[in-house]
Amino acid sequence: MSSAKFTLERIKELAYKKGVVIFLDVDGTSQEAQQDSTYSYDEKRGILKIVVPDLEIRDKSLLLEIIRKVKEDGGLGFKDSKKEILNSYIEYVSNNSDKNILQFYSDILTKDDYGALKMSLYLRYEAKKGNNIFIYKKDIRNKFGTRGVNISNLCSAGYFETEFRELYNTEEEKEFRRYYEIAVGMGARALFVNSHMNVPAIEQSFEVMLDKALRYHMKEFRIHGKGKINVINIKKFVSERKITAEDVYTIKKVYDDLDLFAIEYIVEISE
């Protein structure tokens, strides 16, 4: 077997190895490119770096196949010249406390939902470090639509570590999937307040959530908010909300973290 053919087969083998993270050097500025290498593989970290221009010359069909795989898997392909992004993701992969979550859901979720969860966990990691996560939110929405956004929000609030996993372990799979679909597909589990929502917008979204909760026979849903303005608006909405004896719900505070500017309420349905 020629060395060129071996190289191409090795790249394909590594690209489809479970758990491998693929980085794409689009403009040929990486260290690998300077050393005239088509790829490098860090076995300990499970990171495969591919020099796109070189692979395009060797086997364009394989390159297109790998690019398609990266996109379909919800993977993250970066130009190697973006050192701060590359280094951050290498750090995340090397010290990834989310591996157990991904392993748990690997055979439970659909391919798209798993890809959205994978990207959402990294987004959450970056958010905890105080980094700008706008580009990751945009990528998730572009790749997975509203469903992906719902997964991202639920992931950030810890639902995949707690509620969903507990439900899967304690209930029949049919019941888990019904509840999961209501939460993710219908967006009926939690109201996530963002910076584009003022108090009237929160009120409008609350009415939609309440209608969903009643329609799908949910016993409760949550209201989540992070950031000073969001927390202020949520508190204002709750304080101004007039709940009478005829209403079928109550609103209770779960936590109010003044240091992190994060708040959560639970809306309990009594119908």
Tens-digit pLDDT profile for residues 180-234: 999 999 999 999 999 899 999 999 999 999 999 999 999 999 999 999 999 999 9
Q: Which single residue is written with the structure tokens 């010290």? A: 95
Query: What does the DSSP 8-state code read for residue 20?
Result: -
Q: State the number of CA atoms in the 13 A half-sphere of 262 facing the CB.
A: 8
The amino acid that residue 11 corresponds to is I
Decide if pLDDT at 264 tops 60. Answer: yes
Decide if pLDDT at 81 tops 60. Answer: no
DSSP 25-71: ESSS-SHHHHTT-SEEEETTTTEEEEEHHHHHHH-HHHHHHHHHHHH
Tens-digit pLDDT profile for residues 136-146: 788 888 888 99
Decide if pLDDT at 34 tops 90. Answer: no
Per-residue confidence (pLDDT) for residue 85, from 0 to 100: 61
Q: Which single residue is written with the structure tokens 């991904």? A: 102
| 188's tokens | 């009926």
- Output 133 or 9, whichever has higher pLDDT: 9
Alpha helix stretches (DSSP H) within the chain: 3-15, 31-34, 52-58, 60-72, 83-94, 99-105, 111-128, 134-156, 163-170, 173-184, 199-215, 228-240
Decide if pLDDT at 83 tops 70. Answer: no
Q: In which band, very low, low, confident or very high, does the pLDDT at 258 lie, cut at 50, 70 and 90? A: confident
Decide if pLDDT at 267 tops 60. Answer: yes
